[in-house]
Amino acid sequence: MSQVTTTDLYEVTMALSYLEEGMRAPATFSLFVRDLPTGRGFLVAAGLEPSLDYLSRFEITADDVGVFARALHRPPAELAGLAGLRFDGTVRAVPEGRTVFAGEPLLEVTAPLPQAQLVETYLLNQVCHQTAVASKAARCVLAARGRPLVDFSLRRDHGPQAGIQAARLGALAGFAGTSNVDAADRLGLTAAGTMAHSYIESFPSEEDAFRAFARAHPGPVTLLVDTYDTEQGVVTAARVLADLRRGPGCAIRLDSGDLGELARRSRALLDAAGLTDVRIIASGGLDEYEVDELVCSGAPIDVFAVGTRVGVAADAPYLDAAYKLVEYDGRPVMKLSSAKVTAPAPKQVYRRPGEPDVIALRDEEPPPGAGALLRTVMRDGRRTGPPDTLAAARARLTADLAALPEWARRIRDPRAPTPVTSARLARLTDEVRGRLLADLSRLRADRTSALPRPRD
């Protein structure tokens, strides 16, 4: 079964109606985040590459029609108009790794209306989840201030696919590795891991466990030292590592307790044993807030392993995102609902050094010195170039983070830059709003005139 049926039912019901009404003219939908979550000074665009993979394979088969028919309790023959429908539209998008802000389109889809409608749910699913996790991971990188990070999130992620995405997004943000073997193999990442407390407990003593583990793994090893008594575990690990003379690359891992204080004591014990090159890895429910505190306190931790809170973006697990129609058949459209007003027409976002981004109409000339964020990444249902790489996305993110003001990069109480609207887009928005309000006023007047008049 294809991924076509991974959608909300109302996408199918709307598409069927469009087809019946002959509404196949080009439509543009814009995907954007209305407001940044609390505690975020920026978002990191992500999820585009999986979205393009999905769109390039989008084709409704007879089996898909059967699934839709069963969901609607209708004969498949009544849904025959959907069969063979493929995505052959255009996609303009912000490349992965760019920082983005509230109201800025992350991508815009232009395609025949039924196609553009049917892909909404999947695109929102991919872009929202991955942007949320990538943003969390990027903040961890900022908090670590150059110290390596490793993704340990798989066991707590919301499913295996989400685990692969978390590993990929960690790599995009600059993580050094992942515990997820499948993700490391698929994506060419460094696999990293140590041992569990159950391993230590299964041996007669901690030292027996350490020596057995070292015998099984001839290279550098990392020993988990907090199963019983952390300081005694460090002393035992130091003795084993000194005896084995494994050389650089070995480490101990702290997974509980006061990590800052334990790291200081562990560092002193390791140095006293002549093991100055043995690193200290910290794990155990960490995210950017704890990493920031540890780094600022001067804790001698060399590597941070982050898992649960990062893989699920625990403090901001969803985005207030929308996929809204902005133009149909050349006619700009907008929504007027309270607190959910949208701006009409296809757009471009221009980034200016040291100044707020400008959200403009797609065909506007850029302001002096500005660069366009949205690029055409798909035309006629085909990619316009080879798939992007994690290395390229990571380089874009590094540059964008360096260009952000300090108050947007802050881990605690950041402020997000606010984009401005171009004069042309503002005028068009006012014109479309005025037209819609005038139409509503006429409808109200017609309704009032049609009401029966009270008798004298």
Domain boundaries, the chain: 3-133+316-434, 146-311
Topology annotation, domain 146-311? TIM Barrel (3.20.20)
The pLDDT of residue 340 is: 77
161 by Cβ neighbours in 10 Å (0-12 / 13-18 / 19+) ranks as exposed
Between CA 41 and CA 43 the distance in angstroms is 7
**pLDDT tens over the chain, length 456 residues:** 579 999 999 999 999 999 999 999 999 999 999 999 999 999 999 999 999 999 999 999 999 999 999 999 999 999 999 999 999 999 999 999 999 999 999 999 999 999 999 999 999 999 999 999 999 999 999 999 999 999 999 999 999 999 999 999 999 999 999 999 999 999 999 999 989 999 999 999 999 999 999 999 988 999 999 999 999 999 999 999 999 887 689 999 999 999 999 999 999 999 999 999 999 999 999 999 999 999 999 999 999 999 999 999 999 999 999 999 999 999 999 988 777 788 999 999 999 999 999 999 999 999 999 999 999 999 999 999 999 999 999 999 999 999 999 999 999 999 999 999 999 999 999 999 999 999 888 887 776 666 666 665
The pLDDT of residue 252 is: 97
Q: Would the CA dihedral through 98, 172, 164, 60 be positive or negative?
A: positive
Nearest to 7 by CA among 80, 114, 81, 134: 114
Q: Answer whether 116's CB lies under 8 Å from 29's CB.
A: yes
Global pTM reads: 0.94
Three-class DSSP category at 246 = coil
Q: Answer whether 373's CB lies under 8 Å from 366's CB.
A: no
The pLDDT of residue 341 is: 81
The pLDDT of residue 434 is: 93
The pLDDT of residue 382 is: 97
Structural domain 3-133+316-434, CATH architecture: Alpha-Beta Barrel (3.20)
Q: Which residues contact 198 (CB under 8 A, 6 or more apart)?
A: none
Phi-psi region of 85 (alpha: psi -120 to 50; beta: other; left: phi over 0): beta
The pLDDT of residue 396 is: 98
The pLDDT of residue 109 is: 98
Write the CA distances from 208 to 238, 248, 281, integer angstroms: 13, 22, 21
The pLDDT of residue 450 is: 64
Q: Answer whether 34's CB lies under 8 Å from 322's CB.
A: yes
